Structure 1
Amino acid sequence: MARRGKKKGRPISGWVVFDKPVGMGSTEAVSKIKWLFKADKAGHAGTLDPLASGMLPIALGEATKTVPYVMDGAKVYRFTVTWGEERLTDDLEGPATKTSDKRPTEEEIRAVMPNYTGVIMQAPPQFSAIKIAGERAYDLAREGEVLDIPAREVEIGRLDLVERPDDSRTVFEVECGKGTYVRSLARDMGRDLGCYGHISELRRTEVDPFTPEDLVTLPELEAAAADAAPRGEAGEDGRIDDPRSEKERFAPLDALLVETGAALDCLPQIAISDDAATKIRLGNPVIVRGRDAPAEADEACVTARGRLVAIGAVEAGMFKPKRVFVG
């Protein structure tokens, strides 16, 4: 008789817009959230360094299929540059490699800021997740290799000077696209100003389409997860027979999720009937109707009763599914 496989977790889907604390790595954060929700699968949309805090969108279940759309979204960071030192990691973690007694004036800083907006070329940090000959740059850097990482094109929508707490520190806010390294921005501005610089504080405040109002902290998640702990009397086998259903137990925690379809606000949205949704879930194309339904679209998503059904293409008024969502 075949052995039954061990249950991997709940088939829960949605986004946890996690307010990651300083000191926690992105992979560690995903593991923690997956464990709290007892989810069957999880993944994040954009690494956030351990020394950085702020928005780390974590996808559970079917939401993992929408991760690429969040990865492509614009991001907003607030960061502090400390002048006078360039560091090996371009942040507080690494040792100083270059120093200067010069401290830039506000006028000098504002004069170079236009060089860092629009489409620019930027070299990633030595300690980054960029792959070099199949290996992560940070792994090679830890072994002492000095890497020649080619600059690549990134887009910065805006760069604002927020405040100057003192002559040695300046606080900025930047809105940027996929692949931008804020640590590189601090390094390059420091070199441009002739005084060197590194990130001493970094917080990601937004990842499109999510907003600061969507953020949820670790204490909030842990408090909600505590309600899901089994309650009741233990039987002879030591197991607790909780009278509540699984749905009831996890309701406070699941209420903190943002729905899966929120990640697809960038795509045309098409409402369909339950019958059409059934056909699409079986992999069949359907005709889409309605005043707002596009006749052609490289990508669009269809919903039934407000729930995400599939992502696909629209050709001559026919929706052809490419990625179908369960339930």
Structure 2
Amino acid sequence: MQQVKRKRRSVSGIIIFDKPYGFSSNGALQKVRWLLNSDKGGHTGSLDPLATGVLPLCFGEATKFSRYLLDADKVYEATMQLGATTNTGDAEGEVLETKAVNVSAADIEAVLPQFRGVIEQVPPMYSALKKDGQPLYKLARAGITVERPARTVTINRLELLSCEGEQARILVSCSKGTYIRTLVEDIGAVLGCGAHVAQLRRTEAGPFDLTHAVTLEELERVHEEGGAEALDAYMIAVDSGLQHWPIVYLTEHSSFFWLNGQPVRAQNAPLEGMVRVYNHNQEFIGVGEIDDDGMVAPKRLIRSQ
């Protein structure tokens, strides 16, 4: 008997998901997308299966703007396991070396300043970065190590939250592309005892934090009670991740031309940079960038419903 293909819904918005332990970011997306019965979805940057916490999931028209959330700063709370290094930089990997731990909270506090601000990081082999089209983690699993150029990242905040025995908890606020596993390994190397990530929780991603997040258990419960449509209550507006951008309002006439790909002039537009654009009905219609002529050039568009 031929299986009937499930008819997907066309829904647009963002769900701030509290990713559980053990799920890949894509696995989390596909699970929520199935519950929501959405025809289109995307996530806003990978969280390791070991990590939990804030993962904005974009559906429908919101997927057009996921790249801007991907660029946003993130905040993490990480538990460092001192005295042991692993091949993955976290508790999932094989232990490479162990050392005695003779480190105090004061010792950790003393080394943290050198990791604040703009720093260089060498990405780990166990990462989704690619070398000649091949993900590094696949090469690593095959026992192959390749040279990785250092990347510049910014650590906005780095604080010691607690230190007990051979574990220490740190808070990290950082730019996109920062590897917390590498940061912890580098701190452990400077301390002389080595370290890896035992636990990792993302508490903020751009404008979103854990107070906005919904758990898988809650989504499953509401889905069981009310079906996919009941989950729409957890969707926030497509433009929710862009609230820190300047607003530009267009007239009905200008909106028509702008939505057809033409730069237009707008009252009270900033002199430069990215803007979120709304039509004469105050409906979000996309994002633009101020061009050299001071006009609002369309970058990503949605059409009003």
Instruction: Indicate conservation of the 8 Å contact 1:20/1:217, yes or no.
Output: yes
Please state if 1:297 is matched with 2:295.
no
Aligned residue among 161, 165, 168 for 1:167? 165
Report the equivalent of 1:122: 121
Report the equivalent of 1:110: 109
Residue 226 of structure 1 aligns with an amino acid whose one-letter code is: E
Alignment of 1:134-153 (within 5 A): 134-153=133-152
Residue 321 of structure 1 aligns with an amino acid whose one-letter code is: P
- Distance in 2 of aligned mates of 1:37 and 1:277: 32
Q: 1:62-87: per-residue Cα shift (whole Å, max 9, x none)?
A: 11111111111110000100111000
TM superposition shift of 1:298: 3.6
Report the equivalent of 1:322: 299
Aligned residue among 280, 286, 296 for 1:310? 286
- Distance in 1 of aligned mates of 2:120 and 2:203: 24
Residue 322 of structure 1 aligns with an amino acid whose one-letter code is: K
TM superposition shift of 1:325: 0.7
Aligned residue among 213, 216, 220 for 2:214? 216
- Distance in 2 of aligned mates of 1:107 and 1:318: 54
Residue 134 of structure 2 aligns with an amino acid whose one-letter code is: E
Aligned residue among 247, 255, 275 for 1:269? 247
Instruction: Indicate conservation of the 8 Å contact 1:261/1:307, yes or no.
Output: no
TM superposition shift of 1:313: 2.6
Report the equivalent of 1:88: 87
Report the equivalent of 1:253: 231
Q: Which moved more, 1:317-326 or 1:20-29?
A: 317-326
- Distance in 1 of aligned mates of 2:274 and 2:158: 31
Alignment of 1:54-69 (within 5 A): 54-69=53-68
Residue 307 of structure 1 aligns with an amino acid whose one-letter code is: E
SS of 1:297 mapped into structure 2: coil
Report the equivalent of 1:237: none
Instruction: Indicate conservation of the 8 Å contact 2:272/2:294, yes or no.
Output: no
Unmatched runs of 5 consecutive residues or more in structure 1: 1-5, 230-248
Report the equivalent of 1:233: none
Structure number with greater Rg is 1
Residue 96 of structure 1 aligns with an amino acid whose one-letter code is: V
Q: 1:143-200: per-residue Cα shift (whole Å, max 9, x none)?
A: 1112322221111001000011x22000000000011000001111111111011110
Residue 319 of structure 1 aligns with an amino acid whose one-letter code is: V
Residues paired across the two proteins, number: 298
- Distance in 2 of aligned mates of 1:43 and 1:33: 11
Instruction: Indicate conservation of the 8 Å contact 1:74/1:208, yes or no.
Output: yes
SS of 1:160 mapped into structure 2: strand
Report the equivalent of 2:182: 184
SS of 2:92 mapped into structure 1: coil
Residue 28 of structure 1 aligns with an amino acid whose one-letter code is: G
- Distance in 2 of aligned mates of 1:189 and 1:314: 42
SS of 2:178 mapped into structure 1: coil
Unmatched runs of 5 consecutive residues or more in structure 2: none
SS of 1:126 mapped into structure 2: coil
- Distance in 2 of aligned mates of 1:227 and 1:301: 37
TM-score, normalised relative to structure 2: 0.92
SS of 2:214 mapped into structure 1: coil
| Residues 1:146 and 1:159: Cα distance change in structure 2 (over 3 Å) | same
Report the equivalent of 2:50: 51
- Distance in 2 of aligned mates of 1:122 and 1:314: 33
TM superposition shift of 1:98: 1.2
- Distance in 2 of aligned mates of 1:149 and 1:205: 29
Report the equivalent of 1:234: none
- Distance in 2 of aligned mates of 1:87 and 1:7: 43
Pairwise CA RMSD of aligned residues?
Answer: 1.8
